[in-house]
A and B are shown apart, each in its own frame.
Chain A
């Protein structure tokens, strides 16, 4: 994953718990240093190790840590650094999610190692929306859950996740989110 992800994780811990806690996380993770550059691609294991260390250090489940990170990613990192793009990608949660693949496609032309997830949005009978998340990576469904919560807050929309349904996947991860939008 790109350094921007690892930096965001670090920022979340520092902002919420201080520099000392991050040093403990870093030490616990075994990652030698945290001089991440946003545009440099790093091994996925680094991100996973840091996330696991965050969870261990705060004595919470990894899924809870990833969920919190998803919210932080939208509310802080993306909003601070990519506000223009965020605005261009949509004015509400559903239009944003519908444009997300298009956005990822464009990013892929600049970030050659970029392996983005894919989102398919299907509006149901009016009471719910199905969002199918497909990724080459495993274990990030809780992170997406946090992303959805963060997006709902950004667009001032109420949202309730009705169901999280793991789907069969040939490698990677596939999850169907059923959500109700306000």
Chain B
């Protein structure tokens, strides 16, 4: 027995459950609460370790001996019959000369709350230092917190769906309005252009010129705005991918090369060379930033040198490096007061000297936003009359070669980039040039475009990096200019740059000439993705990213045709183009782009060619090109009509050829065939076609265009 009543009272001041247990395990003395709950009727003492089932200590067998061993451990016991549970410790007073064990503790609140309807416990049953009541309060509030968060989650989901719906509706509206704007504006531009055919008085000529410039500028702003909106809507979706910095910089320089050449500017690389390291980052954003800065530098410079470079300026954590990019120019510079507002939308920093450059003022705004998204900030240093430097530093994660291969493989197998390399696309006709350029880019190739053989030759000789492939109009090859440039550029012993020629069915294929020209294949002028891919794999396998066997398997399974994958560069065999391999299917051929004649029952609009283009270049690009076609066709139609009246054979051939080619590209089968008949008639050397044929063609053209526009509207809604 604990004989000191004073000590017993003290213990009860700290614990509401206190019990003295004798050496046989009987509860011989208990605090009021323990008495009330365990032996309220003053019956014989309970066997303490039998009355309660103990959840803790874990291996406790209910004996006094085991309880002595477990002194100091947490005891959690419950009695289901009474609905009461205890929580506390066993004290052993034997070393103090006192008999038995002592339990000190409190009601086990959680068990009681879980297992009884009404515990009848009050706060006074828990000593103030006991935390169970605090826990109960905390858990009650926590439950409320969880409910709050669940409710918020529902609200957020709903709000997100609302935003997505609104965004979708906005996009549709935006596309619709922009399409209408561009179509109408192209009409204005064409009409103004036609006015140029008339002899205008001084003032009228001045107004016409002003209207033309303004319309061109408006079209540029609209196109830029649309591209910006498209980029921004995808800004957050841009995913990290592995890339090599060297390649990225070379690619950006190459893409800007033709524009710098047009203005007589030198474009070169600065900073470190040989960034052999591979990085991961949001490549699409970075490429856009560098492209915009280079484009800006070229636009506002009239002379001097433009450089793009990158340098490592430190580490950023263990796996990241800080890379500084810089684009410099020797242009007119930016006045100090304009620098502050330079990155605001529609600010251009134009001075009186540079106002003619007419920037849209959106490029730098995009640069700033994208660089921030990349984790950096843009700075600008400029001196009026000396030039400007745009710099930004961003952290880039180091990656392995495997990451690079994996990244490229991902892209390729995902239906995107399958090839990597620089392509020079030479095509006189603007729409075909842009359309084919988009197709080549969609396969992952960097495309530099030239509109003439002279421009192409200049590019071949000036580029720091040799082109991996040249794709050019068959008819342009005959002059030998490009071939000469390639010969000049060729490094002794190196493999000749392969050429893919684009030709119409009417073009004769002189095998000997093909072989001498380095042509490895001839494709239809209206490139089809599948045919292009096959030709590249067969004849330019060095630019394929994924193993050839993989692509071959994919292609074979999709086409059900066997493809010759043996490279055959510069051999006569390769030059002997087999149309079964590179041409179209029989079905395609019946609607061939360059089909020389129009069947009597040709339909005004054939959906198949344009459906293919939607799949391959996307509705946005296609709409832009159709708008350009519609804008140009008015002009060309007028020239054709005039040439027929004036009996200008060469102009008739050229305009009919271009109009026919473009019509067939966009599925205007009847009109395209008719233009081809006009061209063939003029080419035959006989009597020239007359303007009498034009009303019928005009009707075919009008009907086809209406159906084409209807088709594009349907695609937009999809």
A residues near B (Cβ < 8 Å) are 3-4, 7, 35-39, 81-82, 84-85, 87-91, 95, 99, 102-103, 105-107, 109-110
Contact = CB atoms under 8 A, between A and B. Distances in A.
Contacts of A99: 122-124
Contact of A110 (B134, B143, B148, B155): B134
A107 B125 CA distance: 17
Given A102-B128, A105-B128, 12 more contacts: A4-B141, A35-B155, A38-B148, A39-B144, A81-B143, A85-B137, A89-B123, A102-B123, A106-B128, A106-B133, A106-B137, A107-B137
Nearest to A3: B148
A35 B148 CA distance: 8
Given A39-B141, A107-B134, A110-B134, A88 B148 contact: no
Contacts of A84: 113, 136, 140
Contact of B121 (A35, A39, A88, A105): A88
A40 to B, nearest CB: 9
A88 B149 contact: no
Contacts of A7: 148
**What range describes how many residues of B lie at the interface?**
20 to 34
B131 A81 contact: no
Nearest to A80: B144
Contacts of B138: 110
B204 interface: no
Contact of B133 (A37, A88, A95): A88
A36 B148 contact: yes
B140 A81 contact: yes
B140 to A, nearest CB: 5
A81 B155 CA distance: 22
Contact of B134 (A4, A35, A109): A109
Contacts of A109: 131, 134
A81 B133 contact: no
Contact of A81 (B124, B141, B149): B141
Given A4-B141, A37-B148, A39-B145, A89 B122 contact: yes
B167 interface: no
A4 B144 contact: yes
Interface centre among A82, A84, A88, by most B CB within 10 Å? A88
B148 A82 contact: no
Given A37-B148, A102-B128, A85 B140 contact: yes
Contacts of A106: 128, 133-134, 137
**Lowest 9 CB-CB distances: which A-B pairs, in order?**
A38-B144, A99-B123, A110-B138, A106-B134, A106-B133, A39-B145, A38-B145, A110-B134, A37-B148
B51 to A, nearest CB: 24
Interface string B657-697: 00000000000000000000000000000000000000000
Nearest to A105: B128
21 contacts: A3-B148, A7-B148, A35-B155, A37-B148, A38-B148, A39-B144, A81-B140, A81-B141, A82-B137, A82-B140, A85-B137, A87-B118, A88-B121, A88-B122, A90-B122, A99-B123, A103-B123, A106-B133, A106-B137, A109-B131, A110-B137
B645 interface: no
Main secondary structure of the interface of B (DSSP, over half): helix
Interface centre among A35, A91, A103, A105, by most B CB within 10 Å? A35
B214 interface: no
A80 B145 CA distance: 14
B142 interface: yes
Interface centre among A4, A82, A106, by most B CB within 10 Å? A106
B24 to A, nearest CB: 35
A82 B138 CA distance: 10
A88 B152 CA distance: 32
A109 B128 CA distance: 11
Given A82-B137, A85-B136, A106-B134, A91 B149 contact: no
Contacts of B143: 81
Interface string B126-165: 1010010110111011111100110010010000000000
Contacts of B119: 87
Contacts of B144: 4, 38-39, 81
A6 to B, nearest CB: 11
A37 B141 contact: no
Contacts of B134: 106-107, 109-110
B552 to A, nearest CB: 57
Contacts of A90: 122-123
B120 to A, nearest CB: 9
Interface in B85-138: 113, 118-119, 121-126, 128, 131, 133-134, 136-138
B152 A35 contact: yes
Contact of A88 (B123, B131, B142): B123
Nearest to B118: A87
A87 to B, nearest CB: 8
A119 to B, nearest CB: 14
B193 to A, nearest CB: 55
A90 B124 CA distance: 9
A77 to B, nearest CB: 9
Contacts of A103: 123, 133
A28 to B, nearest CB: 21
Nearest to B122: A88
A3 B147 CA distance: 13
B137 A91 contact: no
B656 to A, nearest CB: 66
A103 B133 CA distance: 8
Nearest to B125: A88
Nearest to A7: B148
A172 B667 CA distance: 83
Contacts of A3: 148
A102 B124 CA distance: 9
Contacts of A105: 128
Nearest to B124: A99
Contacts of A35: 152, 155
Contacts of B141: 4, 38-39, 81
A83 to B, nearest CB: 8
A7 B152 CA distance: 13
Contacts of B128: 102, 105-106
Nearest to B138: A110
Contacts of B122: 88-91, 95, 99
A99 B123 CA distance: 7
B111 to A, nearest CB: 13
A99 B125 CA distance: 12
A129 to B, nearest CB: 19
A109 B136 CA distance: 12
Contacts of A36: 148
Contacts of B123: 88-90, 99, 102-103
A45 B126 CA distance: 36
A37 B155 CA distance: 14
Contacts of B136: 84-85, 88
A37 B137 contact: no
A85 B148 contact: no
Contacts of A91: 122
A144 B119 CA distance: 29
A90 B120 CA distance: 10
Contacts of A37: 145, 148-149
B571 to A, nearest CB: 72
Contacts of B118: 87
A37 B148 CA distance: 6
B254 to A, nearest CB: 51
B436 to A, nearest CB: 53
